[in-house]
Amino acid sequence: MVDNKEPIFLKPVLQEKIWGGNKLETEFGMLLPSQKIGESWSISAHPNGVSTIISPKMFEGMGLDTFYQTYPDYFGGKVEERFPLLTKILDASDDLSVQVHPDDIYGLEHEGELGKTECWYVISAEEGSKIVYGHTAQTQEEFKEKIEKQEWKDLFLEIPVQAGDFFDVPHGTIHAIGKGIVILETQQNSDTTYRVYDYDRVDEQGHQRDLHIQQSLDVTRFPHQHPVLKDARHDIEDGYVHHYLSNDYFSVWKWQVDGQMSIFLDEGYYLVTVIKGAGKMRIDEREYKLSLSHSFILPFGTQEIRLTGDLELIASKPNRQVD
């Protein structure tokens, strides 16, 4: 069956952050309105920053939130109250706060939005870059005690990272992206963050950002457990598909091609971002140019894509069933 639905290319929303920088311009060729851009919300229908459609022309300028509700056929016919996923590129020019996110039940009850499970693909990392990933406390009491005594070094688990690493960050995981790291983040469409520690930093007005110690105690998993990645790779023609994980919310892959490669897609719709290189994508008889940082959605019903060029892409697909 030939499907006429074309991929939906999106314009990102750029977000300023106190820990942001200019690598989205120097490494990704985006035009930045300031030198403190921390996040590009590349595929987003979140009310705090909605991506808008660039093409096809007939939908140009429409927000992804509106498009999702108005054209459910592109998403399999049935849609949720809110678009389920959010794809970001983050440039950490400084350390991000040490934080944790709630699960759906806690998030809905306390913040009026779903929880947040996320995962990261490390696009680039300066020499010596580190992340916080987990903690050493066996119990909630021990965690609380170490916070009160400010024993941060002892409490947080730090690990070195390099380009190409992948991290699964389920809700309840203590985490922080460290200085010098650029990542692509795939996450549930939620903006609820509980900060545990912010290095006692102040903004230009001398204010510290809020901490959320009680909420963090409520939602953190004790003891920490390192998630196990699926980590399955298979070669196709001049490239490969690397399947990192599938959880209740999403599946995530890297598609890498150096030449030509056809990918046959499982049923669903896909969120895709070009993280390296340039090339072309062919779907049925149509061809699309792909460049660094391009983000698009492959509509439900897309069965096969053919990639040509020197390209690395991160693709994700929502796993929640809409009923």
CA 86 – CA 91 distance, rounded (Å): 16
| Cβ contacts of 270 within 8 Å, gap of 6 or more | 297, 298, 302, 315, 316, 317
Residue 320 is among the residues annotated as catalytic for this protein: no
Return the half-sphere exposure (C-beta side, CA atoms, 13 A cut-off) of residue 131.
25
> The tokens of 129 are what?
């870059």
Q: Which of 82, 195, 201, 233 is catalytic?
A: 195
| Cβ contacts of 48 within 8 Å, gap of 6 or more | 191
Which value, to the nearest 10 degrees, does the dihedral of the CA atoms of residues 214, 225, 245, 101 take? Answer: 0
> The tokens of 314 are what?
């991160």
CA 198 – CA 216 distance, rounded (Å): 13
DSSP state of 25: H
Strand partners, 86: 187
Q: Which residues of 178-210 are buried (b: 16+ CB within 10 A; e: fewer)?
A: bbbbbbbbbbbbbbbbbbbbbeeeeeeeeeeee
State the sign of the Cα–Cα–Cα–Cα dihedral 158, 251, 243, 14.
Answer: negative
Task: Give the residue numbers marked as catalytic.
Answer: 195
